[in-house]
Amino acid sequence: MKCCAVIVAAGSGSRMGGPKQFLPLLGRSVVEWSLDAFLKVPEVEQVVLVLSRSDLEKRGRDLASQKVLVIEGGSTRLESVRNGFREVPEDADVVAIHDGARPLITPEIIQAVIEEAQASGAALPAVPVRDTLKKVANKQLWITATPARSLLWAAQTPQCYRREVLAETLEKFASQKEATDESQLVERAGHKVKVVPSTAENFKITYPEDMAVSEALLKRRMGLSDRPAVGFGFDIHKLVVGRPLWLGGVKIEHAKGLLGHSDGDVILHAAADAVLGALGEGEIGLFFPPGEASTKGIESRKIVAEVMEKLKNRRGSLLNLDVTVVAEEPKLAPHYPKIKETLSTLFGLPPERVNLKAKTHEGLDALGQGLAIGCYATATLLLAN
Ligand code: MG
């Protein structure tokens, strides 16, 4: 059985003051947690991630992969679902539609709902409501009815359908612009939809306080300590004529570059050392000994990848990076956006969690005379208990 998931994350987040799907949550963004859960389900062969145009431009390239197709959404949720459905491969048996703002979805729930949809045609995860619900029909806030609670379930996502069921429904309601979920249309189209008991943890981030709850639940799930570890890194390389200048994984046009056994990228070296420091794993020189022929001219992004692998093996979660470059030349401010973007990609952090600043050395010492570039960095992370 083959499943294609459509994750809709094109909303503007009007109740959160910005797109909630990209708020930072334990070292990655909300939508990346959702994406990660789907990528862990073997039946999910393809994910179509639907973003707003601006997010597509800003983050599309980083989120896309062999399994993840990133496309532009529409002006309503239903239009975004339609755009996503157009990209579903012909041979998909089941289509799963998921809210990008439900980061606590688990591979187990996804799998259970996919299987039920394959068997029944349509299924969604839901939980019995906890509170007694009231129907309030007017502005004076008078209650007009109390539906029997025992019959009420709160619907979640992923809502899963056999491909032909969703295709028929979307065609039947082609002129419909809005719907809070697809299931109501599938029901109106005459199909039976089955509920799969889920957990209340799979809630949709709607209000700012939901972020704190999500973070606490994820920490518990991952067994992360509440006490952050801080690491510090420092590096300095000589600035010489005839070398390319690499800073923060970005090649910068300049008459001089940094001398070193590797590409001499002081920012990546200091930042990688900061992460190793917080892990208590020494320094990059232990893993990439200077002078060893096999690592001569190595791209420093490979050093970072190795360090991030160590972080992953320790089940750690990077919270932020703070980087201070000390350089007389070149002027770095014009390169900040590109360097920040690259650091956020290499270290798997949302851009808001990467801070970059540059200082001169006031003409003092070798740094001040422009003979070298230095860098200080700190990294904060949470480790598994
Ligand atoms: Mg170095």
CA of 141 to the centre of ligand 1 (A): 66
CA of 259 to the centre of ligand 1 (A): 9
Q: pLDDT tens-digit profile of 130-152?
A: 999 999 988 899 999 999 999 99
User: What's the longest Cα–Cα distance across the chain?
Assistant: 80
Q: pLDDT tens-digit profile of 183-208?
A: 999 999 999 999 999 999 999 999 98
* Cα–Cα distance measured from residue 205 to residue 221, given in angstroms and rounded to the nearest whole number: 18
Asked which of 161-165, 166-170, 217-221 is least confident by mean pLDDT, the reply is 217-221
Q: Return the half-sphere exposure (C-beta side, CA atoms, 13 A cut-off) of residue 302.
A: 11
Please answer whether residues 321 and 377 qualify as being in contact, where contact means their C-beta atoms are separated by less than 8 angstroms. yes
Q: pLDDT tens-digit profile of 297-330?
A: 899 999 999 999 999 888 888 999 999 999 999 9
Which token pair is 202? 């799979």
pLDDT score at 13? 67
Q: What is the DSSP letter of 224?
A: B
CA of 237 to the centre of ligand 1 (A): 6
CA of 246 to the centre of ligand 1 (A): 11
Question: Tokens 């994350």, residue?
Answer: 9
CA of 363 to the centre of ligand 1 (A): 22
**43-67 mean pLDDT:** 94
| CATH architecture of the domain covering 3-222 | Alpha-Beta Complex (3.90)
CA of 303 to the centre of ligand 1 (A): 11
CA of 285 to the centre of ligand 1 (A): 8
Non-local (6+) Cβ contacts of 299 within 8 A are 262, 263
Q: Is the dihedral of CA 275, 280, 284, 288 positive or negative?
A: negative
Please answer whether residues 94 and 124 qualify as being in contact, where contact means their C-beta atoms are separated by less than 8 angstroms. no
The answer, as to whether pTM is greater than 0.75, is no
Question: What CATH number does domain 229-382 carry, 3.90.1150.10, 3.30.1330.50, 3.30.1490.20, 3.10.20.740?
Answer: 3.30.1330.50
CA of 271 to the centre of ligand 1 (A): 10
CA 151 vs CA 53, 136, 145, 197, 264: distances in Å:
40, 18, 14, 14, 65
- Mean pLDDT score of the chain: 93
CA of 349 to the centre of ligand 1 (A): 22
pLDDT above 70 as % of the chain: 98
Concatenating the DSSP letter of every residue in 51-79 gives E-HHHHHHHHHHH--SSEEEEE--SSHHH
CA of 278 to the centre of ligand 1 (A): 18
Non-local (6+) Cβ contacts of 380 within 8 A are 228, 229, 230, 231, 278, 318, 319, 320
Which token pair is 185? 């249309």
CA of 366 to the centre of ligand 1 (A): 16
Q: Which amino acid is at 84?
A: G
CA of 238 to the centre of ligand 1 (A): 10
CA of 375 to the centre of ligand 1 (A): 9
CA of 235 to the centre of ligand 1 (A): 5
* Cα–Cα distance measured from residue 114 to residue 59, given in angstroms and rounded to the nearest whole number: 28
CA of 327 to the centre of ligand 1 (A): 15
* The domains spanning 3-222 and 229-382 adopt the same CATH topology: no
- Any idea where the domains of the chain sit in the sequence? 3-222, 229-382
Residue 20 phi/psi, 5° resolution?
A: -70, -25
Q: Return the half-sphere exposure (C-beta side, CA atoms, 13 A cut-off) of residue 214.
A: 28
